[in-house]
Amino acid sequence: MTYKLKLTPNQAKASNHFKGPSLTLAIPGSGKTTLLISRLIHLVENMQVEPTHILTLTFSKASADDMANRYAALNAPYKFQFMTIHKFAYGIFKQYNLQTGQQMQLLDDSGRRFHILNEIYKKYYTTSLTEDEYEAFTNHIGLIYNLKLKRTDQSAYDFQFDRIFDMVSDYHIYKKKHKLFDFDDMIFYAIKILKANPNALAFYQNRYPFIQVDEAQDTSKLQFELIELLLGPEKNLFIVADDDQSIYGFRGAFPDYLLSFKERFKEASIYYLKDNFRSDAAIVFTAQSIIQKNEHRFDKPMSPIHKHEMPPLFKNFDDLIDRNQYLLDQIQMAQDSVAILYRNRISALSLVNLLDQNQVEYYIKEPPLAELDHWLLQDILAFMNLALIPQDLESFNRIAFKMNGYISREMLQYVNEHIRGKTVFRTLVDIPFLESYQSRTQERLMEQFEDLKSLRPYDAIAFIETELGYLDYLKKNTTRLGVSMNFARTRLDAYKAIGKSLKSGFDFITRIEHLREHLHMDSTPAHQAKVTLSTIHGSKGLEFHNVFMIDVNDQIFPGFNSQKKDALEEERRLFYVGLTRAKRRFELLHTRFMNGDFNKNSLFIEEFLSQEFTEDALDHIERKTSIG
């Protein structure tokens, strides 16, 4: 029939698996979706399994939709169910609520959830949540819930808030009181319902005697508990995963389940998809060389199908501005798809600005909107605003203690009470209780802000850092502010790159507002875009002809909190995922200087540069080259 799929021997062997538990370890680009669809057809046509008796679950909606679309394109006559684990759990929960008459409302990532968590946060920390803190808070909730952590586990994890378990407890109490549930609750309630109702459990076990799970490396301990609960006595569980692509530990992903699969299911079959259909041979072996440095993993063979054409490259640039110009040039010359990948969203900000200025269309996953509200950028804008409008009390109050003006709380209070039409600086100079040397300091500060007003934005930011002492403030307060100095320099570098072509502080302020509006607009649709900007997390499951990875900087990637072995191995897996998105060309771009300071190579750059190929790998690359 026309919908029959062409399979490799390894795919065919795995797709012929019938009953009992099995785990298929699939390297990147090895055709796992083809395998899953082929097995569905095999079960129906060759093993006489009813299509309605097979449930295919996956971690993300994007993956479920992709699988459904790929299957629909075959025009096969059978109807299969592809859905996320959350959607399946919600179906159980919804049916139970209909039968019991309970009225509960889904609490998604909307403004209401932010308001609830913000009120809880303020109870313990008095201030409001920033966007970054909100994201950390929600990730911590998911981690605690999905790994079923207890208070005694707190010291084993790098939680951002010391009162996290108190806050999570308050959150669950609030949800219960107001009859709310969130996405993590779906899994929890589905398990609770099935355990308490044997008839309901038997119904689902009889309805779905065959279960397939894709992206199992991203599945949590709680989700695995639900899946195991659904298994009938034959345990017909077919799992496809790659432990090397498990990159969601901060949300509760539990790759240890895969590593202990044979202990859980003694009779389990293990299959390997080792052929990479995506990448240049040298990219495949570079990725293999790097991921093998992780110890807590399956040792898997990797074999490229495509010949070696272009080795992965490392390129150095003097600074961010030179690097961005190089990227712009490469984008404009490229004939095929281009992806620029990075660890953190701040890396996209200066690139978005450059692409917008040059009218280059692009698609961006997870636009860095929160970065435009980041406290560090707001500080820089306050300096510039105060230079332009020296009566601006709001800006003055924000930065008074963040510069070398030696301003006390009494001086700040006096300015707020006595400014009366004067400038902030004139009021400071005229404070009656100051000693003469203190007044001279304020006169100097007034002159510095006059100088600041006349500077171009690039030079203005450097002036704020040095002459006004802002960099010293950051160095003294990085621990309290929860950032590394390298992370602060990364942001300052981005702001300077945005300001490089601008003439005044007013232009910079206006440009930031323009970027805010620009990022709120819909970008080019993903399927139409030649250029994609994405975090590496957001790129998972995608592939591009050309991949440029940027900002692999010390203390940022791997992060400054990756001292623990497990955390470092997950960061390395993330680097591996980024590398394996590339089909023909991969370049790792580094800047020698970050905001004027020497930017030493991160651990992953050193590993990339010192990769060691086995003799088989080198022979394979040479053989492919000679054949080509």
Q: Which residues contact 216 (CB under 8 A, 6 or more apart)?
A: 23, 59, 239, 240, 241, 257, 258
First to last CA, the chain: 34
Q: How many C-alpha atoms does 349 have within 13 Å on its Cβ side?
A: 28
Tokens of 598: 């020497």
Q: How many CA atoms lie within 13 A of 311 on its CB side?
A: 12
H or E element: which one contains 107? Answer: none
Q: Give the number of other Cβ atoms within 10 Å of residue 569's Cβ.
A: 22
SS3 category, 269:
strand
DSSP-derived 3-state class of residue 510: helix
**32 is annotated as contributing to ligand binding:** yes
Q: Which of 404, 384, 380, 398 is nearest to 453 (CA)?
A: 384
How far apart (Å, rounded) are the C-alpha atoms in residues 500 and 494?
10
Q: How far is residue 72 from each of residues 75, 76, 77, 427, 507, measured CA to CA in Å?
A: 6, 7, 9, 72, 51
CB 124 within 8 A of CB 162: no
C-alpha distance from residue 209 to each of 54, 201, 235, 240, 244 (Å): 7, 12, 8, 17, 29
Helix (H, G, I), strand (E, B) or coil at 212: strand
Q: Is 335 helix (H, G, I), strand (E, B) or coil?
A: coil
Of 72, 31, 80, nearest in space to 51 by CA: 80
Q: In which residue are the tokens 């150095």 written? A: 316
DSSP bridge pairs for 559: 556
CB 368 within 8 A of CB 577: no
Query: Whole-angstrom Cα distance, residue 588 to residue 341?
Result: 10
Nearest of 273, 268, 263, 261 to residue 300 by alpha carbon: 273
- Residue 457 contacts residue 504 (beta carbons within 8 Å): yes
30 is in an annotated binding site: yes
Instruction: Give the span between the Cα atoms of 224 and 175, in whole angstroms.
Output: 24
Q: If you search the block for the tokens 């308001």, which residue do you land on?
A: 115
Angle at 263 between CA 258 and CA 267, to 5 degrees: 100
Could you tell me the two tokens for 58? 């996956």
101: annotated binding-site residue? no
Containing H/E element for 191? Answer: helix 183-196
Tell me the DSSP string of 449-464: HHHHHHS-HHHHHHHH
Sheet of 210-213: strand order equals 81-84, 54-58, 210-213, 237-241, 22-26, 269-273
Q: What is the 8-class DSSP label of residue 321? A: H
Task: Locate all alpha helices (DSSP H) within 389-435, ordered by sequence.
Answer: 393-399, 409-418, 424-429
Alpha-carbon distance of 492 to 594, in angstroms, equals 9
Token pair of 482, please?
């929860």
Report the candidate in 262, 272, 85 with the shortest Cα–Cα distance to residue 186: 85
- For residue 31, say whether it is annotated as part of any ligand binding site: yes
Is 26 annotated to bind a ligand? Reply is yes
Annotated binding site: 26-33
Annotated binding site for ATP: 26-33
